[in-house]
A = this chain, B = another copy of it.
Amino acid sequence: MQNSAIDEPAALGLRERKKRARREALIDATHRLVAEHGLDAVTVDAICEEAGVSVRTFFNYFETKDDAVLGHTPWPLESAAADVFAAGGPTGHLMLDLQALVSSFLSDPPIGRERLARAIELAAKEPRLVARHLAWFEQHKGQLSALVERRLGQDGPHSPEMVGAVLLFLTHATFLRWDAAGGHGDADEHLASVVSELRSILSD
């Protein structure tokens, strides 16, 4: 409502800008209240009052209350990076390209860094949120497997599902490690350390 102009280049219409501002306002309101009272003590009604929006509208933006904390948004899987991966790039080595893909996911988060950090902080205290986050991941596993299959075909040595699962695992583990490190630094380093630790465990 107030300073949305500094966020977006205004290349988008008023409608779209308002929509985003509202989504963010709802996420912020949810974060404020949940941080203060805890997830279960906060009703959707309260969130909507805080954000100045009707309850019905809330559910036009998020499927569940938990999603508002996590800022869940449709998965940006139609990215350029995904196409590159499907086409066999960027390096041609499966494992390296998987890492590039994970890296692209992590470097382009669906909500801003600070909001993301706050969401993780809250999730650490509310196990249900972690579960929901995982469930959201899982929902897109099909798409992920399909992406992998676009690259490998279904007759290769690896099953697309397994590769997809690895992709998910790496993304999640790196994500956690990045957060454990205080949310600083590049996701890539953490990813590399996750991969090497995984290798080391498997060959022990």
Contact = CB atoms under 8 A, between A and B. Distances in A.
Interface of A is mostly: helix
Contact of A162 (B139, B163, B173): B173
Contacts of A198: 162, 166, 202
Contacts of A202: 95, 166, 195, 198-199, 202
Interface in A136-170: 138-139, 157-159, 161-163, 165-166, 169
Contacts of A2: none
Give the bracket for the number of chain A residues in contact with chain B: 20 to 34
A75 to B, nearest CB: 14
Interface in A107-155: 127-128, 130-132, 134-135, 138-139
A78 interface: no
A137 to B, nearest CB: 9
Tell me how many chains of this kind the complex includes: 2
B201 A94 contact: yes
A199 B159 CA distance: 13
A200 interface: yes
Interface of A: 93-95, 127-128, 130-132, 134-135, 138-139, 157-159, 161-163, 165-166, 169, 173, 176, 194-195, 197-204
